Chain A
Amino acid sequence: MWRQHLYKITLTVPLLSAGLLLALSLGVVKNPLEFDWLDILGEGVVLLVALCWLSLIISSRPAGRVSEWLYYGSLLLVCSFFLDLLDEFIRYPTHIRIMSWLESLPAPVGMLALTYGLVGWHREQRIINRQLQGRELFLRDHRLLDPLTQLYGVNYLYAVLAREMALHRRQQQPLCLLMLGIDHFTAFNRQHGTAAGDDYLTKLAELITSQMRCSDVLCRYAGDRFVAVLANTNLAQADIIGLHLQQHLRLLSAAEATLTVTLVATEVSQQHAAQALQYAETQLNAVKSKAHAAVLQLS
């Protein structure tokens, strides 16, 4: 990410060295006995923290309007804190006021710029939240994400499901689970390699999230299984959603072979999230083994 901000980084160094040169040409270096070490420590830490913000912004934000505001705001803060630290080492003649202005003016301007940037960030985040619909509900914790499909994993599913179950029970609304398993995924992996398998999983996750309503959330349950929590949905509606997904998934082909997917919709009436998921899993297994038995009979 930081490569997008190269010119911004190169700006920092001359700016700070210009400040240093100006300070050295105007003032004289203090005698080491006059240094107030406690002040130096306090102002040094403040400067370090501001530098830390600067580097975090550079390393985590893509280039753009909001990033510029955030960056230049923090840069002004850094300049101000840097000059503040310098005057602990350098004494200026009393008639020269420019250094004290340079010290105190950039800080409020930088703060304002930073605040404006944060407002922009807030707006941006609202848009991104809408973008994340179908992948995220009320909780955000990046450690629970499945790194392959970028969906949330099973821990997240449990947390969300427990909350939704309590809410739906109180409002007496129906809540459904849609469990989805890929048929013969191990055989597919074996034949085409895990790279193809991983690729298919990623595509599948993308496709399903694009077809979900904004109140639903899709999680990766385990391996080749996904679970969607369908809020305010009864079993008949969930079945329709399942059929709709099934039709769309036919379009998704992977490495010369078309994988099929088994979908099971269950209505949640259990007390605990674990029981509900277990029930859905047994239903899915039953459907799968029935299909398997039918294939065996045909052959």
Chain B
Amino acid sequence: MPVVMFGHTDKNILLQHGITELLQLAQRRGGQLHKLLSGTHIFEPDLQKPLSRCNHRDWLSLISRCQQLHSPELPFVLANSILNNRTIALSQSLFVCANLAGSLRQLLYFRHQLLPVIYPIVQQHGNTLTLQLKPAISLGTQQHFVVTLAIAFIIQLIKQQLGTCHELKVQLTQDCPAFLAHFSGHWPCQLSFNQHVDAIHIPRSLWYQPFAGRDQQQLSQLTRSCYQLNKVLPNQRGVLEVLQRRIRRALPQLLSLDAAAGALGISGSSLKRLLQQHNTNFAALSDTVRRDTARLLLLQGQLSNRQLAIELGYSDEHNFRRAFKRWTGQVPSQFKNLPNPL
């Protein structure tokens, strides 16, 4: 069965799941509704309908217009209002889970209902769970906004449910802003900018602390409504996500363009065109996957360079070392000893 993928023109974002909130927030900050919506396929009457949807291009252009309002708090406030929206079954179900682990699992399973454009790579090393957040389709200049939104959502959930978030660590790819007040005000945890990946590290001590409002019955009820919503918002994955997962699964073999296209049920040239629309190409994707995998394997720390080279499909360890230096500017042994290596 071919995988169900989505691109920029697929309508799989529910207006009630964040867009109406974004518009209200923007309007209170001086944005005008008709200007925010102009050029998109969203019309004012749609905003009242419970099941109307929009595509990703429109969503991204809405975000870019909201960014022009110069309100740096917007992603934080938006995350807050999506999380606490009583009409979103998924958000409500997160509060009645048994603990953070259950809550995050629920979020992971139904994430296509809230934020399909971001996918996490979950990794555990030592006493920390790391969620690496990657774009599932190309997000352009709006990527930082969307990533901040996703991380703010998770941090807000942890803050509300466990009352603490000092032990979290957040890494962002974006440049360090001139004034950190907004970040440090909303995220009182360890923050680093200019990193290779967007990630949030959650210590093990937080996973299984029981939630105060846990309620099995309510959870199953809300989960049922989430399943019902799946009929309108089917579980689809972004193009880049599907491809990167396939490339990763094929390692140590290198997946060829034609093989990947065959698995998706399209021709090689169609895939090339598709990737061009996302401002990338197959070689770059494949390189990114190897880079990320190399970092994660290095962090687990048991493999030698030689073994790593084999795992990643390099002919010998020198080639691997050279590639690694190209990715990170450091050789693998230096990288391992960094305080904050991801």
Residues of A within 8 A of B (CB): 143-148, 153-155, 158, 186, 189-190, 193-195, 197-198, 221-225, 277
Interface residues in B43-94 by Cβ distance below 8 A to A read 69-73, 76-77, 80-81, 84
A190 & B160 in contact (Cβ 8 Å cutoff): yes
Cβ of A60 to closest chain B Cβ, rounded Å: 15
Interface presence of B292 (CB below 8 A)? no
What is the size, in residues, of chain B's interface with A at 8 Å between Cβ atoms?
26
A147 & B30 in contact (Cβ 8 Å cutoff): yes
Residues of B within 8 A of A (CB): 21, 24-25, 28-30, 69-73, 76-77, 80-81, 84, 156, 159-160, 178-179, 181-182, 184-186
B80 & A186 in contact (Cβ 8 Å cutoff): yes
Q: What residues on A are CB-neighbors of B25 within 8 Å?
A: 194, 198
- Identify A222's interface contact among B30, B73, B84, B159, CB under 8 A: B73
A221 & B185 in contact (Cβ 8 Å cutoff): yes
Across the interface, name the chain A residue whose C-beta is closest to B28: A198
A154 to B25, CA, bound (A): 20
A138 to B332, CA, bound (A): 53
Closest 7 interchain pairs by CB?
Answer: A222-B185, A222-B181, A147-B29, A194-B81, A223-B185, A147-B30, A154-B179
Given contacts A148-B71, A154-B181, contact A194 B77 (CB under 8 A): yes
- 13 interchain pairs, CB-CB under 8 A: A147-B71, A148-B28, A186-B80, A186-B159, A186-B160, A190-B160, A194-B80, A198-B25, A221-B181, A221-B185, A222-B182, A223-B73, A223-B185
Q: What residues on A are CB-neighbors of B24 within 8 Å?
A: 194-195
A208 to B225, CA, bound (A): 45
Known contacts A186-B156, A195-B24, A222-B184, then 9 further A-B pairs from the complex at CB < 8 Å, ordered by chain A residue: A143-B70, A146-B71, A147-B69, A147-B70, A194-B80, A195-B28, A198-B77, A223-B185, A225-B181
Cβ of A139 to closest chain B Cβ, rounded Å: 16
B21 & A194 in contact (Cβ 8 Å cutoff): yes
A193 & B84 in contact (Cβ 8 Å cutoff): yes
A192 to B83, CA, bound (A): 13
Q: What residues on A are CB-neighbors of B72 within 8 Å?
A: 153
Q: What residues on A are CB-neighbors of B160 within 8 Å?
A: 186, 190
A193 & B73 in contact (Cβ 8 Å cutoff): no
- Identify B182's interface contact among A143, A154, A186, A190, CB under 8 A: A154
Q: What residues on A are CB-neighbors of B73 within 8 Å?
A: 222-223
B29 & A148 in contact (Cβ 8 Å cutoff): yes
Q: What residues on A are CB-neighbors of B159 within 8 Å?
A: 186
Which of A155, A186, A190, A194 is most buried by chain B, counting CB atoms within 10 A of its CB? Answer: A194
Q: What residues on A are CB-neighbors of B21 within 8 Å?
A: 194
Across the interface, name the chain A residue whose C-beta is closest to B186: A223
Q: What residues on A are CB-neighbors of B76 within 8 Å?
A: 223
Across the interface, name the chain A residue whose C-beta is closest to B178: A155
- Identify A155's interface contact among B69, B81, B84, B179, CB under 8 A: B179
A57 to B31, CA, bound (A): 21
Across the interface, name the chain A residue whose C-beta is closest to B72: A153
Q: What residues on B are CB-neighbors of A224 within 8 Å?
A: 185
Q: What residues on B are CB-neighbors of A155 within 8 Å?
A: 178-179
Q: What residues on B are CB-neighbors of A147 within 8 Å?
A: 29-30, 69-71
A193 to B77, CA, bound (A): 10
Q: What residues on B are CB-neighbors of A143 within 8 Å?
A: 70
A164 to B88, CA, bound (A): 48
Cβ of B125 to closest chain A Cβ, rounded Å: 31
A291 to B21, CA, bound (A): 33
Across the interface, name the chain B residue whose C-beta is closest to A197: B77
Cβ of A47 to closest chain B Cβ, rounded Å: 29
Q: What residues on B are CB-neighbors of A144 within 8 Å?
A: 70
Q: What residues on A are CB-neighbors of B81 within 8 Å?
A: 189, 193-194
Q: What residues on B are CB-neighbors of A198 within 8 Å?
A: 25, 28, 77
Q: What residues on B are CB-neighbors of A193 within 8 Å?
A: 81, 84
Given contacts A147-B30, A147-B70, A154-B179, contact A189 B185 (CB under 8 A): no
Given contacts A147-B30, A147-B69, contact A190 B84 (CB under 8 A): yes
